[in-house]
Amino acid sequence: MNTLPTFNSMTPEAGLKKALTLSRPDIIEEVRSSGLKGRGGAGFPTGMKWNFAAAAKGEEKFIICNADEGEPGTFKDRLILQEHADLVFEGMTIAGKAVGAKEGILFLRGEYTYLKPQLEAVLAKRREQKLLGKGILGSDLEFDIRIFMGAGAYICGEETALIEALEGFRGEPRNRPPFPVNTGFLGRPSVVNNVETLASAACILQKGSAWWTSKGTEKSTGIKIFSISGDCQRPGVYEFPMGITIAQLLKEVGGEGAKAVQVGGASGQCIPASQFSRAIAFEDIPTGGSIIVFGQHRDMLDVLHNFMDFFVDESCGQCTPCRRGNVKLLEGIELLKEGKCSMAYLKELCSLGETMQIASKCGLGQSSPSAFLSVVQNFREEIMGRTSKTLSHV
């Protein structure tokens, strides 16, 4: 199966060659008018991000490719790096020209250390071919890329924690503002983009923004790469147009008859079968690309237990709503499993989850209660049936 048909169909370096003929504002305009939104999860418009960094004052700027890929159920960036590293590096080089950066850094997930030799070889070849370094393809563009290894912490995928780690500090999120586009790595303007975003930007430069907007929906343009796992016959990495419904996607992967689908990894939403006609798009259910299929036999409390265990481990502990909130939610799930959680306490846990969503400092704590809240809302009967009618531990 051709898993990534769009990336496979690209002519090597055609996007970069096109970018070398354009001015910096024209490159940014091409990306802006494509409507490309970040593929790392938050969906920030890429053209706007590049424009902010281009406009930021500073001689030295950086392009950082976020290949930390730690969200449970996500493995598409690994395949993109394995099969299309050149396209990713091409996208970084184009971003470098657009923004005025001479240095790119690939922040590679610690667990992907085995990919490093292969990626270093691609970089070395690009230098030989004058696709990196000084005078790229005979132009006056200077840009090079180095690889920095992560050390296995999920929080380092959050862009400001990633920058802290790059600077040699403990990976903890910074207060925002200031944003990395103004004050990023070493205090310099920095663009942080997902692996897939940068590869997609290279495609857009090659084929044009109208080609990209001809796919997907009006508000969610283009194609998206998905990591699909769980109770389906054909798990794997897939390319689909944005706006595909969950039902269509399940048919493609042999997951019909599923009980629920977790869209967006552990920090995403759990969608029940009654809502499978909904679209995977920024205007309906957004995702960085992780899709986990749950069959009819799955106990939703087991699912939640697994996710909350992860968040308790991965919270950096900097702010109280997340540090304590995840522990309290995990304890609540354990009480539910033991039949010892009252309805009143379940309500309190939901209210705690909502507080975490607004009071946590970064996206980890803001999104870690999402699965819990969506399971309680969408599987009311299953969860209510597990509450204690007589006992209240509070």
Ligand X SMILES: Cc1cc2nc3c(=O)[nH]c(=O)nc-3n(C[C@H](O)[C@H](O)[C@H](O)COP(=O)(O)O)c2cc1C
Residues that bind ligand SF4 (CB under 6 A): 155, 173, 315-319, 322-323, 360-362, 364-365
- DSSP letter string, 78-120: HHHHHHHHHHHHHHHHHHHHHHT-SEEEEEE-GGGGGGHHHHH
CB of 176 to ligand X, least distance (A): 10
Residue 132: both structure tokens together: 């990196």
Q: Is position 148 an interface residue for ligand X (rule: CB under 6 A)?
A: no
CB of 349 to ligand SF4, least distance (A): 18
Work out which of 69, 103, 172, 231 binds ligand X, going by CB under 6 A: 69
Alpha-carbon gap, residue 308 to 303, rounded angstroms: 9
Work out which of 7, 27, 32, 40 binds ligand X, going by CB under 6 A: 40
Distances (CA, A) of 196 to 61, 91, 232: 21, 9, 24
Residue 243 or 265 with smaller CB distance to ligand X: 265
Closest to 199 (Cα-Cα) out of 217, 212, 215: 212
CB of 183 to ligand SF4, least distance (A): 18
Contact between 145 and 119 (Cβ < 8 Å): no
Residue 324 or 340 with smaller CB distance to ligand SF4: 324
Q: How many CB atoms lie within 10 A of CB 233?
A: 9
Residue 310: both structure tokens together: 């992860």
The runs of H, that is alpha helices, within the chain are: 5-8, 14-21, 24-34, 46-55, 76-99, 116-128, 159-166, 195-207, 209-213, 246-253, 300-314, 320-337, 343-359, 363-367, 370-378, 380-384
CB of 174 to ligand SF4, least distance (A): 9
Q: Is position 70 an interface residue for ligand X (rule: CB under 6 A)?
A: yes
Q: Residue 86: name its binding partner from ligand X, ligand SF4, none (Cβ under 5 to 8 Å by kind).
A: none
Residue given tokens 């992560």 in the structure block: 150
Alpha-carbon gap, residue 195 to 50, rounded angstroms: 15
Work out which of 35, 47, 96, 157 binds ligand X, going by CB under 6 A: 157
Integer-rounded Cα Rg, in Å, for the chain is: 22
Alpha-carbon gap, residue 10 to 5, rounded angstroms: 9
Q: Residue 317: name its binding partner from ligand X, ligand SF4, none (Cβ under 5 to 8 Å by kind).
A: ligand SF4
Task: Give 258's strand partners.
Answer: none
Contact between 100 and 141 (Cβ < 8 Å): no
Q: Is position 188 an interface residue for ligand X (rule: CB under 6 A)?
A: no
Task: Give 260's strand partners.
Answer: 272, 294
Q: Residue 159: name its binding partner from ligand SF4, ligand X, none (Cβ under 5 to 8 Å by kind).
A: ligand X
Q: How large is the angle between the packed helices 76-99 and 14-21, nearest 10 degrees?
A: 20
Task: Give 226's strand partners.
Answer: 238
Looking at residues 357 to 376 of the shown chain, list those that interact with ligand X (rule: CB under 6 A).
362-364
Q: Residue 70: name its binding partner from ligand SF4, ligand X, none (Cβ under 5 to 8 Å by kind).
A: ligand X
CB of 373 to ligand SF4, least distance (A): 16
Work out which of 81, 98, 192, 292 binds ligand X, going by CB under 6 A: 192
Q: Residue 209: name its binding partner from ligand SF4, ligand X, none (Cβ under 5 to 8 Å by kind).
A: none
Q: Is position 159 an interface residue for ligand X (rule: CB under 6 A)?
A: yes
CB of 38 to ligand SF4, least distance (A): 19
CB of 18 to ligand X, least distance (A): 21
Q: Residue 197: name its binding partner from ligand X, ligand SF4, none (Cβ under 5 to 8 Å by kind).
A: ligand X
Q: Residue 39: name its binding partner from ligand SF4, ligand X, none (Cβ under 5 to 8 Å by kind).
A: ligand X
Residue given tokens 């990713």 in the structure block: 88
Q: Is position 197 an interface residue for ligand X (rule: CB under 6 A)?
A: yes
Residues that bind ligand X (CB under 6 A): 38-42, 44, 66, 68-71, 154-155, 157-159, 192-194, 197, 362-364
